[in-house]
Structure 1
């Protein structure tokens, strides 16, 4: 049975699940019945950072235009432009055994594409979640439901996976940003 986390909770991944090497980070959401003339296009991203939460190499930013980091440890499975349907809307695969030694954190984020031009924000998004699945067995290890705590934000740091004493842990972050993808990139040390 999966563990349900709340904002701010941290949990061991590899220590409490011996042998866990590959996970699927599944992200899902629904949009409110708002119709401003545009569909919602939410995008999942992964920022592979050093111990100071900075991306060292721009190729360590994994998103719809860069589906894998150079090591192949983190892979985005593709852009879902509508989010329609049940289950995961987008997925990111992580192979812990291949994560380069300079990467200490993997921040998982979701942004709204062209949010400002379309007058969209996370106040219009509901049922957002992230789940971690053991890729080998298909077992859901944990789930974090974001709740409805957002209003004008256009980007959210959903969670982060980080190294601690040679093991990988999960942190349920749920922190919103205004300024969309560009603001997130600057936050993680990337030039836009």
Structure 2
């Protein structure tokens, strides 16, 4: 049975699941009724961070146009432009044993594509979540439902996988940002256009 987390909670991932290696991080969301005349496109991104909390290079930014990072240990499975249907809207597959030692943390972000220009924000999004699934057997291990109202934010750090000694843990972050993906990227040491 999956562990359900609240904002700020942390939980052991590999210690409580010995032998765990291949995980899928699923991100999902629904858009509320929106009549602004523009499409509503949410995107998931992954930042591979070193011990200082920064990306060493642009190769440590994984998203729909650069779907692999960490030497192939982290793979984004593609862009879902509508968020229609049930289940995960976008997924990232991770081979924990193959993540290079210089990567201390893997941060999962959801952003609204052109959110500011389209006058869209996470106040118009509901049922956002991040979950961690054991790829072997498709068992959900951890789930974090982002229940708070992000009325002006256009980007969310949903959660993070991070190393703790030789183990991996998961942290439910739930931090909203104005300024979209560019703002988060800057905080992680990258410039994106």
TM-score clears 0.5? yes
Number of residue equivalences:
192
Q: TM-score, normalised by structure 2?
A: 0.98
Q: Distance in 1 between matches of 2:172 and 2:121?
A: 21
Residue 102 (structure 2) aligns with: 102
Offset from partner CA, 1:12-64 (integer Å, 9 cap, x none): 00000001001000000001112101121000010000011100021110001
Q: Distance in 1 between matches of 2:46 and 2:157?
A: 10
Q: Distance in 1 between matches of 2:70 and 2:178?
A: 29
Structure 1 gap ranges (5+): none
Structure 2 gap ranges (5+): none
Q: How does 1:8-87 map to 2 (within 5 A)?
A: 8-87=8-87
Question: Is 1:4 matched up with 2:27?
Answer: no
Offset from partner CA, 1:144-173 (integer Å, 9 cap, x none): 000132110000000000000110000000
Q: Distance in 2 between matches of 1:166 and 1:40?
A: 40
1:115 is paired with a residue of what secondary structure? Answer: coil
Residue 165 (structure 1) aligns with: 165
Q: Distance in 1 between matches of 2:141 and 2:164?
A: 19
Q: Distance in 2 between matches of 1:42 and 1:170?
A: 23
Q: Distance in 2 between matches of 1:160 and 1:131?
A: 11
Q: TM-score, normalised by structure 1?
A: 0.98
2:69 is paired with a residue of what secondary structure? Answer: coil
Residue 116 (structure 2) aligns with: 116
Residue 126 (structure 2) aligns with: 126
